[in-house]
Structure 1
Amino acid sequence: MNDYDVVLLIEQALTPADAAQVRSLHEGLEEPVTYHVLLPLEDAAARIEAAMGSLSAGEMMASPVLAMSDSEIEALRKECEDRSSTELRATLDALAGAGADATGQVVSGPPIGALAEKVKEVDGREAIILTRPHVVAEFFHLDWTSQARRKIGVPVLHLLEHENFDEQAGGGEGVTGA
């Protein structure tokens, strides 16, 4: 009997409740289910940009350009790698606690490209994307789910982290054909 491979793209560590919700989606299947978790590396450059973006224009004009040394940038990158690895481990532990068989990896490239590659690599039967709500990105169809629906040839389910199925009902999300 072949495994039913599910590729799971997440933005942050799953809680035990999130893991149980994901696992519940496949409880009735006869095939063994294997989850392949992808967690994008938190981007140190994005954190620097976000920190700079939080300064008002007046502060930017009045102060010299924020400069970081190579060692500070490297320390920030290492911190991001460590945080991503910790979140992946927590997610795999949460899935194991929910009775799931799961493997995972931190990915550094574009998340949807990594999702498409993993689906192809494992002959994935479906993809699940768990995100925090991104109202603006979703409105313009730039979110991961919209990109994945255009790129991969398996059903895509978009779940919002920390919300149960009833809380998500009616939001226009769910399984779609590729």
Structure 2
Amino acid sequence: MPTTIILTEDTLTDADVAHILSLHADQPERYRVLVPQDTDRNVVAAIIDHLWSGELREAGEDLVGKEPTQQQAKLTAAERLEGSLVLLRGAGAAADGQVIPEDPLPALATAVADHGGPEGVQDVVVVTYPHVVEDTLRRDWASRARDELKVPVLHLYAGTSALGD
């Protein structure tokens, strides 16, 4: 059975699940969800993202910069993973997943290899919020995955029907 690997920075929404499941609705498939624990954010990029989105309070919070501890980041990622799995399974999908280290690319490459490489992995779906700096400079997860993996990579913006580059 082919696998779609989902890399997400937050809990999937109902809209995200509907979009992902519609990609291959005509065939049975399993889903592997990867959620990185985020402990080291680029403060300047985060502030720009919040200002671009009109989130002034959040930009100010980033400016004073309180990074989560390793334990807090792991707990948050585990909650996001569990919420995503509940939604996928609730929609009838066979899904499992794991919390991965902060840089998701090595874990993503391992997941692709573990599921049969390009022959076993239908595609990779990266679900993020828009990140102005990373997206523009093509340093976002989806662009990096396209550069490193030999499977199709789709970039969805969380909670919307918008596609990233």
Q: TM-score range by the shorter chain?
A: 0.7 to 0.9
SS in structure 2 at match of 1:12: coil
2:84 to 87, 91, 94: 91
SS in structure 2 at match of 1:54: helix
1:54 aligns with 2:47: no
Residues 13 and 35 (structure 1), Cα distance of their counterparts in 2 relative to 1, 3 Å cut: same
- In the alignment, the residues of structure 2 paired with residue 53 and residue 27 of structure 1 have an alpha-carbon distance, to the nearest angstrom, of 40
Q: How many residue pairs align between the two structures? A: 147
Point out 4+ residue stretches in structure 1 off by more than 3 angstroms.
45-53
User: CA contact under 8 A between 1:23 and 1:99: conserved in structure 2?
Assistant: no
Residues 98 and 144 (structure 1), Cα distance of their counterparts in 2 relative to 1, 3 Å cut: same
1:145 aligns with 2:155: no
2:75 to 79, 82, 85: 82
User: CA contact under 8 A between 2:38 and 2:102: conserved in structure 1?
Assistant: no
In the TM superposition, what is the alpha-carbon distance from 1:76 to its structure 2 partner?
Answer: 2.9
Residue 107 of structure 1 corresponds to 100
SS in structure 2 at match of 1:148: helix
- Indicate the structure whose relative CO is greater, using CA pairs within 8 Å and at least 6 residues apart: 2
Matches within 5 A, 1:10-25: 10-25=8-23
- In the alignment, the residues of structure 2 paired with residue 48 and residue 132 of structure 1 have an alpha-carbon distance, to the nearest angstrom, of 16
Q: Which runs of 5+ in 2 are unaligned?
A: 47-59
In the TM superposition, what is the alpha-carbon distance from 1:25 to its structure 2 partner?
Answer: 1.1
User: CA contact under 8 A between 1:149 and 1:156: conserved in structure 2?
Assistant: yes
1:39 to 24, 35, 39: 35
- In the alignment, the residues of structure 2 paired with residue 163 and residue 139 of structure 1 have an alpha-carbon distance, to the nearest angstrom, of 19
TM-score, normalised with respect to structure 2: 0.78
| CA RMSD, Structure 1 to Structure 2 (Å) | 2.8
Task: Specify the code of the residue in structure 2 equivalent to 1:110.
Answer: D
Matches within 5 A, 1:56-71: none
Q: Which runs of 5+ in 1 are unaligned?
A: 57-65, 67-72, 174-178
Residue 156 of structure 2 corresponds to 159
